[in-house]
Chains A and B, each alone.
Chain A
């Protein structure tokens, strides 16, 4: 019991260009234990309140429909994904 909690979800990021119908195009595929769970996009358009932050463009599975604030760093985003998948 509880053994599974000790096994951290392995989150891997892979760079990918994303069409967001805007100038934000630098993206990361987020894979958790080998499965695609999200796509992050870097906010590059100056109009964004948090330019430079990473935005959860798409969430899949348990991340579907969730709207977290943009993340300052990819590490923050990865931590959030891990926590969210654990619950």
Chain B
């Protein structure tokens, strides 16, 4: 498992042998979790940072009237709660959508890594910053795009995120979400989701069969919703060897 974690983080930084040894030193707990199961709930004290190895999960809140709002989707290779491990109490829930293989990394292990290994710290920071960028884009999506464009945007985003972790085959990927999941993510109703899916099918942009989404025309779908993948920072990921962040090195040296 550590190797998967190291591979994930090395998308962002090239580690030294010492960094890798440090990441292999702690014993993370890997477990299989069923679909629709909470990994951690609002009010809980976060003990572990969760990393999804397989399956899909989400970050959500439940309003007093029972309405659920999903604020993030997690796919394989994603940390669920890197941003909360320093905090005392969870202010939201994290739950699985499909059955997941999840790694729990004790927060103390993360604390120790961050205290001693600046490259690992920077890789973790990179993950957290990309998560934040995705959240910003979702805010734009919900606040400013029309219903059908919102959904198309999500499909494009998932395609790119899943592609980087090798979970896309011929523009198809597992889509275990219900219409209600998508509705609760987009601030829309099930009915609007159902209409939009029908419209995207009619335009021959997608098919959705047996919980597999196929994007028939990626460029058209991107154009349809004005998708710009810059917020996923994928280019930097691929070019990590050539990337430089001198200002951050300066700060650390100072």
Q: Mark B149-178, 1 if CB is under 8 A from A, else 0.
A: 000000000000000000000000000000
Contact flags B167-195 to A (C-beta < 8 A → 1, else 0): 00000000000010000000001110011
Q: Give bound CA distance, A21 to B198, whole Å.
A: 11
Asked whether, in the complex, the Cβ of B189 is within 8 Å of the Cβ of A55, the reply is: yes
> With A and B bound together, what is the CA distance between A10 and B191 in angstroms?
28
**Beta-carbon contact of A21 and B190 below 8 Å:** no
A14-52 toward B: CB 8 Å interface, digit per residue (1/0)? 000000111010000000000000000001010111000
List residues 171-230 of chain B with CB under 8 A from any CB of chain A.
179, 189-191, 194-195, 197-199
CB atoms of A45 and B189 under 8 A apart: no
- Docked Cα-Cα span, A77 to B197, in Å, equals 26
Task: Assess whether A47 is in contact with B189, with CB atoms less than 8 Å apart.
Answer: no
- Bound complex: CA A43 to CA B194 (Å): 11
Q: Is B67 an interface residue (CB 8 A)?
A: yes
Q: Given A55-B189, A67-B67, are A45 and B199 also a contact pair (CB < 8 Å)?
A: no
Question: B-facing mask of A44-86, CB < 8 A → 1, else 0?
Answer: 0101110000010000000000010010000000000000000
Report yes or no: A45 in contact with B179, Cβ–Cβ below 8 A. Answer: no
Residues in chain B within 8 A of chain A (CB atoms): 67, 179, 189-191, 194-195, 197-199
Q: Please give the residue numbers on chain A whose beta carbons come within 8 Å of chain B beta carbons, in ascending order.
A: 20-22, 24, 43, 45, 47-49, 55, 67, 70
Interchain residue pairs with CB less than 8 A apart (6):
A20-B195, A21-B199, A24-B195, A47-B194, A48-B190, A49-B179
